[in-house]
């Protein structure tokens, strides 16, 4: 079922959903299932699986020199989605990214997904590769997420890259996109960023999942700004608990999000990471309760492989 149909069926009830990462290359599906099993008690109607671009690593050669090599450390998104859908009978939502793929490769992946009956996609640009200062599109690939949204929308109309395909099968993908309550770090200003988001909706996207935030007011304001611009699709808040002290500097650095002073000062006072985790869980529970009271379509938890922590939060909220 489409993510948006799950919302229609829920009739205003706040659903729960999760995002998981594929295991590192060489890892097994069992680890994924072990992490997901306890979370299935909460009956998520859909589960997102991230996609990871190849990264550059420096590998020592026999000559003793280091060579820059590209490897994809977390392959398997499409297979994981099919496997999750099969085992749990839930909808799995693969993330598709522009970086690292030609349009042709993207089309072939979409064909695979369609045949597998995976009909939800989160369409993203992807980040810059490690050791690269900015995002470089792949030759023959897309520059921005909107181009990927357009490609998926075209396939929904039966239009494939090859003009010779007439009467191509119309796919029926429901398309999600990313939204940034605190602004995407590259956008010159909030207004531009919101307009680019609106453009993605106008190009065929059906819902938005937000970057994490730790102050709900930021999300409430974002929803208001989107609505004022005519963005009328569901806006799913994505949240995660803080569990380690170092995250008070690493999360702003990697995700360009800010942390409220009340949370930071509590964490600074914590004697160790076990105490930080308790503060983070409590904060996340309060966030989730208030989002639920606001009537959000779903609370989307970034699980980061930590089912135990997410289960504790979900139990307190649902």
DSSP letter string, the chain: --HHHHHHHHTT--EEEEEE-PPPTT--HHHHHHHHGGGGGG--SEEEE-----EEEEEE-TTS-EEEEEE-SS--HHHHHHHHHHHH--EEEEEEESTT--HHHHHHHHHHHHHTT--EEEEE---PPTT-SS--PPTTS-SSHHHHHHHHHHHHTT--SSTT--SPPPP--EEEEEE-TT--TTSSSHHHHHHHHHHHHHTT--EEEEPP-S-HHHHHHHHHHHHHTT--S-EEPEE----STTHHHHHHHHH-----HHHHHHHHH-SSHHHHHHHHHHHHHHHHHHHHHHT-SEEEEE-TT-HHHHHHHHHHH-
- Binding residue for ligand FAD, selected from 2, 6, 53, 277, defined by CB under 6 A: 53
Closest distance to ligand FAD from the beta carbon of 114 (Å): 20
Quick check: 55 binds ligand FAD (CB under 6 A)?
no
Stretches 2-10, 107-115, 140-148, 214-222: which one binds ligand FAD (CB under 6 A)?
140-148
Stretches 78-86, 186-194, 275-283, 305-313: which one binds ligand FAD (CB under 6 A)?
186-194
Quick check: 187 binds ligand FAD (CB under 6 A)?
yes
Quick check: 218 binds ligand FAD (CB under 6 A)?
no
- Binding residue for ligand FAD, selected from 7, 51, 214, 283, defined by CB under 6 A: 51
Quick check: 175 binds ligand FAD (CB under 6 A)?
no
Nearer to ligand FAD, 146 or 307 (CB): 146
Instruction: Restricting to residues 236-275, name those near ligand FAD by CB under 6 A.
Output: 238
- Binding residue for ligand FAD, selected from 3, 15, 124, 299, defined by CB under 6 A: 124
Binding site residues, ligand FAD, CB under 6 A = 50-51, 53, 95, 97, 124-127, 144-146, 178, 184, 186-187, 192-193, 196, 209, 211, 238
């Amino acid at each position: 079922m489409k993510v948006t149909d799950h919302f229609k069926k829920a009739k205003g009830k706040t659903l729960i959903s999760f995002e998981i990462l594929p295991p590192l290359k060489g890892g097994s599906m069992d680890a994924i299932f072990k992490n997901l099993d306890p979370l299935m008690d909460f009956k998520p109607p859909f589960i997102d699986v991230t996609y990871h671009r190849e990264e550059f690593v420096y590998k020592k050669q026999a000559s003793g020199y280091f060579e820059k090599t590209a490897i994809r450390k977390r392959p398997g998104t499409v297979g994981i989605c099919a496997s999750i859908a099969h085992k749990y009978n839930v909808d799995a939502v693969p993330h598709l990214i522009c970086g690292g793929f030609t349009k042709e490769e993207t089309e072939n992946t979409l064909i695979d997904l369609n045949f597998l009956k995976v009909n939800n996609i989160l369409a993203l640009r992807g980040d810059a590769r490690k050791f690269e200062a900015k995002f470089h599109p792949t030759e023959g690939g897309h520059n921005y997420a909107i181009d990927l949204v357009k490609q998926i929308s075209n396939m929904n109309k039966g239009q494939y890259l090859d003009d010779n395909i007439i009467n191509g099968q119309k796919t029926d993908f429901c398309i999600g996109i990313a939204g940034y309550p605190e602004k995407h770090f590259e956008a010159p200003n909030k207004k531009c960023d919101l307009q680019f988001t609106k453009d993605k909706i106008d190009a065929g996207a059906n819902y938005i999942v937000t970057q994490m935030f730790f102050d709900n007011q930021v999300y409430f304001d974002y929803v208001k700004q989107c609505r004022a611009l005519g963005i009328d699709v569901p806006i799913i808040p994505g949240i995660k608990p803080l569990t380690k002290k170092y995250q008070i500097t690493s999360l702003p650095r990697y995700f360009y999000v800010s942390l409220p002073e009340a949370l930071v000062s509590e964490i600074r006072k914590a004697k160790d990471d076990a105490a930080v985790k308790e503060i983070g869980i409590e904060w996340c529970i309060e966030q989730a309760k208030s989002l639920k009271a606001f009537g959000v379509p779903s609370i989307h938890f970034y699980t980061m492989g930590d089912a135990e922590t997410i289960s504790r939060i979900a139990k307190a909220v649902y």
